[in-house]
Structure 1
Amino acid sequence: MSELKFDKLDTAITKWKGIKDEFDKIASGKGEGADVVRMEKQATSAHWTGDAAKTGKPFVVKVAREFHDAANEAKSIHQAIKLARQRLHKHQSDLHKLVEDLRADGLLIASDGKITDSMCYADEAKQQASDKKVKTAKVQIEKILRAAAATQHDLADGLRLLVKDAHDFSGANWDSYDDIKKVVGGADAKKAADLIKKLSKEAADGDSVTMTNLDALNDLAELQRNNPAFAEGLAKNLPAKDTLLFWRMMSGDGPEVITRFEYGKQMVRLRDNLSLTLATASRGKSLEMMKWKQDLINQGGMPIFYPDMHARHDPVGFQVMSSLMGKGKFDKDFLHDYEEKLRAFDKKLGDEGKAWSGFGWDGTDLDPSSLGRGSDPMTGFLQAASHNPEFATDLFKDKETADYYLNDRSYEPEDPYLEDGKNRAAEALGDAIYAGGSGLNPDDPNAEYAEHTAPQTEAFHNIFDRLAAKKDDLMPELRGDVAHLLGNHGTEVHATMSAPLGEGPLNEAKLLELSKQVSHTPEGYATLNEAMNRAVVNDILTEQKDPSDAITRTGRTMGFLEEARHQAIADQTADEQKEAGWKSFGAYAGAATALRLIPPLAPVAGHLDLTAFALSRAYTEDEQARIAADGTVMNIEASKARNNQLTELAKLWREQHGDWAQDREGYITDYGVKDQFGRAADHGKDEAERIAGR
């Protein structure tokens, strides 16, 4: 793609422009030669008699009109090639820009597309962070290459469909790329439906599916899964129940998929392709699509029956459908309808969500990745909710539904054979609460902070109140998401941490509890502190009336965070501290700012990013200094624990408010200002101890 030349396309565009122009002259009568407009007009107005009236007149009129159709076809071919050239050039430019940015970020990009980090790390956590960066880069490059492949596919197949009948030029009148996508998407939907029927028949007969057919379906879906014409066309060719039954038959038993490695890889690919395709289809608003979506939801409580499966109970439609909801943005109205029926069925089963791991469904395996089983349909549904933040906000701004998802039901860990032992349902819940309270999709690498709407703020407060009340019963899987959510509301959180006597916008006791729960892990603690670093920098930069107030507020916030950390450590044994991974704390620094999910710095100076980075680096040095060689954490006074951080804060404050400080005792020197920050930090820690009743 990076070396793609456009010479041949440019030549084709020039040639087809000439052909288009010639046909246009003939069809419009604007040229000096043949004039089919005049010919058609004369033929229709002339007085024909005998056999000529029966055969001659229709023939002449048809020929004249075919010239119009041929002119439209020539115009469509020229437009298709021109649009493809524009799009491919854009894909190439995007690729060049991305590679340039990745190289600037320290990654090595070989000519064959292989990506490596220019650095190697002995520290395991830092190496994991490096591996994640490389993986993200691969995803970004693959996204551009997929888009380029889709453009090429649409052009090639579009042209084939356009000229498939050498004697019929009718029906071709393309003005935009969307016109091409509609034609190609509809044709590909029929191909995909035929492949699904073949694969379904093989599975129903007990045969191993033909990998060629599976690969072909995946290739087609990968190219067209975001195309509404394809997604809706496939839905119209495949009834709702057949869609669910197809995935039920294909997913098979988990162990079978895991042991057949290549098949398992293709099945994960198929699951993701189907999920993205169904998400696109869910946004269709035609009467036919509205009926298809309702039929799908109506299958929710029905067993999806396949006699040769080994589960003691056949999964119901909600389980099958939810396992296909982990990717893509599903329509908000569809999610509301689906959630209403799913929650009603969940309540009907009873046992606060535990029923999904019983009833014989513990043998149900709808996830070919070996990272889950898919028995609890809330897992896939909540993943879908997190990918549509507007819907997630609706979900948690309502007190009744917030109570249900955060208080009334449990999220049971799945089978112990899972590779990492994590609770998939709880992880999905964490993603959903973050999306609901922030308005951001946690899986969107391009997500950026935006001012909160009233519904998002309401959702945040509902989540905040309910999770704080859980105290030590807060599921560990939620800690990271809660940290990001508090960081996303950093201005409100800082105002509460720094306010005396509970005068902040949030309940200080609840905030201390959540800050403590977040601080049980280095990742959650780093995320929250990174966000608060930015909040206090904003405070220092924007305070104009009395700059000493910014010192007081900043120090109190530092002390509040320190006390939350102390309480979290006090709850952990030395072995638990080591297991949490504090020794590799440095690898987690920068987690919040890198994701651009927290309030931005105030636009009042040109070196703000460097200021935030320096503060972050100083804070990381302080943290690493008090982590013992065995990975345990030492408790010391706030002013001492954050020595380097307070030094940087004092330096920033003096740079910003030096004129105000020049004749005020205690603020004249960097040391004096740092002492003021330290006193405020110790006071903030004492204040947090009071809140905790210690």
Structure 2
Amino acid sequence: MLTYQDVVTIRIGFLTTAAKDWDDMAGGFEELESLYAAKVEGVATDGTWVGVSAGAASSRFSATREQFAAAQVEARAIASLLRDAHAQFARLISQVETTVEEAKQADMSVNSKGVALYDLSKLDSKRSDPSYSQDVLKVRMAEATWTKAIQDAVQAVDDADQGVKLALHEAAGVKSWFERAFDQATGQGYTFNGSAVGDIEVYEAREAQKYADQILAGEKPDDLEEWERLMRDNSDDKTFSQTVLNHVGPEGTIKITNQLNTLAYDSDQRNQQRYLGVEKGLADAMATATQDPKSEFYKNWNDGLKEAGMKRYDWQGEKVRGYQSLVTLMQHGEGYSDRFLHDMGDDMIAAERADQGNDNWDLPKRFVQERDEWFANDPLDGLLGIMSRDPEAAANYLDPKNDPHPDDGKTEDNDRLKYLTRERDWDVQDSNWHRNPHDPDSIWGDPLHRSDTEDAQNRAGFGAALVAATTGIDPNNSGGGYVTHSEVNDRVFEGALKHLSAEGNDFPPSLRTPMAVAMGNFGDEVHQATSAHNDGESPLDRGQVLEVAKQISRDQFSYATLQDAINREIVYDINTGRNGDEEPLIRGGRTIGFLEEARYQGLKVDFDDQRSEATWDAKWDYHTWGGVVNFIPHVGDAAQRGVDVVTAKWLEEEMARIDSNQTRDNLATGTDKEGRLEALADQWRRENPSAIRPDDRYGTVDIVDNAANNGNETAKDLAGKGS
């Protein structure tokens, strides 16, 4: 393998010089071919020489001239390969250099082995600080991150180097010792390669096809490490990706996935990471190959996928659907086009709607549980999870205004969000032991299908997609912070409120936290709605907001997620309000009162539920939901100033509720929110020093307390109207 030093010191200019020499050689062979055809081959073909000997000579002369022609093809192919190699190396070496420069800009140095190092003496002034050990840990983690980035960039150069070697050997007809010995034994001499091609990826695709064929034949690949390299190095190349996928087709891709997973998780776990590396490469190749929805490849692939995706395949004692295996594969990849994800999702929904028994994906509970962490037994939910990594793709898919058939010349809406929230059967796990694994689709295949249940990952993908679609933030990587909402984000959020509030107490528990995150992300709109005097003042349907907040409050973690976000929104409004303006304080009180009533109604639903009681009586750990701060709209001093005090008071009250056994009753009284209201009053007074009387804290507290009572009553009235 190439080292870091090899990469940063190598000179690649010789490749273009060599390419020119090979082109010149091809020109020389072309001249020789013309001369040979005229002066030698012509003797046997111009009609002056006749007879058996002339015929024999003509055949030999023709074969020789064809070698001159083949030599031109081979030489030009090698010239092309060398230029291709130069372009690849130039790009990849530049990436290594860029990564090193970025590491240096991040205050790192990089040694001769490509290891990133930080000068810890820069932290000497902090040695006595309590956070010193944490600071050192962060530095070490940063060193490891930059070192890996450099190593990955070097690995990419080495991968390309191996690909160039393979292509040059194939184009030049380089053979192994055994192959040369065989040729000599059979009297075959050396010939030039008249079928040589000047594209590195074509040769690598042919090699990858060989390993794929071995897997399809039930064998292990001859060289697993090389197959992994081929897929890793070339999955971003359109020619390579489409060549490989065309060779195996959708059904072959599914069968390869099943076999790779059997090897990775069962019969050859020692090489698990390499098998999964191949899967990632295959998934990324699919993403690359399907970028253009108007291409012939895309059309043929999708048509084949519809059939192969719904077909059942024997795998580990069960008959699994193709889509289940395919989404399992796709979970390893990235970079899928919106259209490919949307078309695939719509095809699965169409198949679900066509199945009156709602048993398309059902598999036995034991089978699902044993593979729960990696197998996409619910492929639609798995696909939605993949969409969540691309917030724009998720938003467009769940947007009711998104045209599901953009190529038919019509403008149509869709009901995907309604289907997923209100209509879909999410019970994809068989909980009975009478299922016939050999014929699961017959009338007797699953006679007790009414005992089907949700699986452990129920709606995990949909919940993530819902967060991404409403917030514009990838929930799997939210470090980038708040994203300004688009009209699409707004429509998805309002649609989610509408459909989920209509579910009432059937609101899916697995969507409580995702909706809490979404409502916190729309904190300004939610705060306006919960503090409004009437519907005309509210940007959202207040009844829907109340119902969703009520359902969120049935879970401690979800409730805390929403409350934390709303606390921040209230404090931000106070900190940025006009001097002396009491409206932010009054609105803060009304919102707290409104949400307290939502909490009361939510917990009243589960009052006799021992599981709910155990959850709510557990001690609170604020840090468990601290990561949701990445979804909060406001940052900086105005957002942070005073929020810690308000949050501390709120947590203090929650703990007091537990300690006094009042967690789940007497929740509508004012005593459970007094501390937080007083903290808000104090924060308002600190932000408006010129507008207050120092001795009138009582009056300020009274204002926010009355507002909280009014908000409480508003929520009660809305509940009475059947929110």
Q: In the alignment, is the contact (CA less than 8 A) between 2:77 and 2:171 conserved in 1?
A: no
Q: Give 3-state SS (helix, strand or coil) of 1:350's partner.
A: coil
Q: Which residue of the other structure, out of 389, 392, 403, is the alignment partner of 1:390?
A: 392
Q: Structure 2 length normalisation: TM-score?
A: 0.70
Q: In the alignment, is the contact (CA less than 8 A) between 2:211 and 2:221 conserved in 1?
A: no
1:291 counterpart residue number: 299
Q: Give 3-state SS (helix, strand or coil) of 1:106's partner.
A: helix
Q: Give 3-state SS (helix, strand or coil) of 1:460's partner.
A: helix
2:10 counterpart residue number: 12
Q: Give 3-state SS (helix, strand or coil) of 2:421's partner.
A: helix
Count of residue pairs the alignment pairs up: 611
1:83 aligned to 2:94? yes
Q: Distance in 2 between matches of 1:579 and 1:99?
A: 48
Q: In the alignment, is the contact (CA less than 8 A) between 1:522 and 1:588 conserved in 2?
A: no
Shift of 1:342: 2.0
Deviation digits for residues 581-603 of structure 1 (CA, Å, limit 9, x no counterpart): 65242245653543x223124x7
Equivalent runs, 1:207-356 vs 2, <5 Å: 210=220, 213=223, 217-218=227-228, 220-222=230-232, 224-225=234-235, 228=238, 230-251=240-261, 257=265, 262=270, 274-284=282-292, 287-300=295-308, 302-306=310-314, 310-311=317-318, 314-327=319-332, 328-351=334-357, 353-356=358-361
Q: Which residue of the other structure, out of 582, 591, 601, is the alignment partner of 1:557?
A: 591
Task: Give the gaps of 5 or more residues in structure 1.
Answer: 28-35, 44-49, 116-136, 169-181, 203-208
1:508 counterpart residue number: 542
Q: Distance in 2 between matches of 1:105 and 1:415?
A: 50
Shift of 1:150: 4.3
Q: Note closer, same or farther for the CA distance 1:142–1:381 as it changes in structure 2 (3 Å cut).
A: farther
Q: Distance in 1 between matches of 2:390 and 2:491?
A: 17
Q: Note closer, same or farther for the CA distance 1:623–1:66 as it changes in structure 2 (3 Å cut).
A: closer
Q: Give 3-state SS (helix, strand or coil) of 2:534's partner.
A: helix
1:567 counterpart residue number: 601
1:538 counterpart residue number: 572
Deviation digits for residues 615-674 of structure 1 (CA, Å, limit 9, x no counterpart): 434433332332228895564566543444334433432333222x13xx6x86555434
2:207 counterpart residue number: 191
Q: Which residue of the other structure, out of 610, 621, 627, is the alignment partner of 2:658?
A: 627
Q: In the alignment, is the contact (CA less than 8 A) between 2:646 and 2:679 conserved in 1?
A: yes
Which amino acid in structure 1 is aligned with residue 711 of structure 2?
G
Q: In the alignment, is the contact (CA less than 8 A) between 2:167 and 2:204 conserved in 1?
A: no
Q: Note closer, same or farther for the CA distance 1:470–1:150 as it changes in structure 2 (3 Å cut).
A: farther
Q: In the alignment, is the contact (CA less than 8 A) between 1:275 and 1:324 conserved in 2?
A: yes
1:450 counterpart residue number: 483
Q: Distance in 1 between matches of 2:662 and 2:671?
A: 20
After superposing the two structures, state which structure 1 stretch, 481-490 or 369-378, moved more. Answer: 369-378
Q: Note closer, same or farther for the CA distance 1:440–1:71 as it changes in structure 2 (3 Å cut).
A: closer
Which amino acid in structure 2 is aligned with residue 626 of structure 1?
R
Which amino acid in structure 1 is aligned with residue 474 of structure 2?
N
Q: In the alignment, is the contact (CA less than 8 A) between 1:251 and 1:365 conserved in 2?
A: no
What CA RMSD, in Å, does the superposition of the two structures yield over aligned residues?
5.1
Q: Distance in 2 between matches of 1:376 and 1:74?
A: 43
2:715 counterpart residue number: 688
Q: Note closer, same or farther for the CA distance 1:658–1:365 as it changes in structure 2 (3 Å cut).
A: same
Q: Distance in 2 between matches of 1:187 and 1:668?
A: 84
Deviation digits for residues 483-512 of structure 1 (CA, Å, limit 9, x no counterpart): 111112111111101111333122222211
Which amino acid in structure 2 is aligned with residue 160 of structure 1?
K
Q: In the alignment, is the contact (CA less than 8 A) between 2:524 and 2:569 conserved in 1?
A: yes
Equivalent runs, 1:194-205 vs 2, <5 Å: 194-202=210-218
2:620 counterpart residue number: 585
1:656 counterpart residue number: 687
Which amino acid in structure 2 is aligned with residue 195 of structure 1?
Y
1:123 counterpart residue number: none
1:46 counterpart residue number: none
Q: Which residue of the other structure, out of 525, 529, 534, is the alignment partner of 2:563?
A: 529
Q: Structure 1 length normalisation: TM-score?
A: 0.72
2:403 counterpart residue number: none
1:32 counterpart residue number: none
Shift of 1:691: 2.2
Q: Note closer, same or farther for the CA distance 1:499–1:510 as it changes in structure 2 (3 Å cut).
A: same
Identity over aligned pairs, percent = 21
Task: Give the gaps of 5 or more residues in structure 2.
Answer: 32-37, 43-64, 109-115, 121-130, 174-197, 401-413, 433-452
Shift of 1:448: 3.2
Q: Distance in 1 between matches of 2:82 and 2:351?
A: 58
Q: In the alignment, is the contact (CA less than 8 A) between 2:575 and 2:638 conserved in 1?
A: no
2:426 counterpart residue number: 411
Q: In the alignment, is the contact (CA less than 8 A) between 1:559 and 1:680 conserved in 2?
A: yes
1:471 aligned to 2:504? yes
Q: Distance in 2 between matches of 1:573 and 1:610?
A: 40
Shift of 1:233: 4.0
Higher Cα Rg, which structure: 2
Shift of 1:260: 7.4
1:30 counterpart residue number: none
Q: Distance in 2 between matches of 1:298 and 1:565?
A: 45
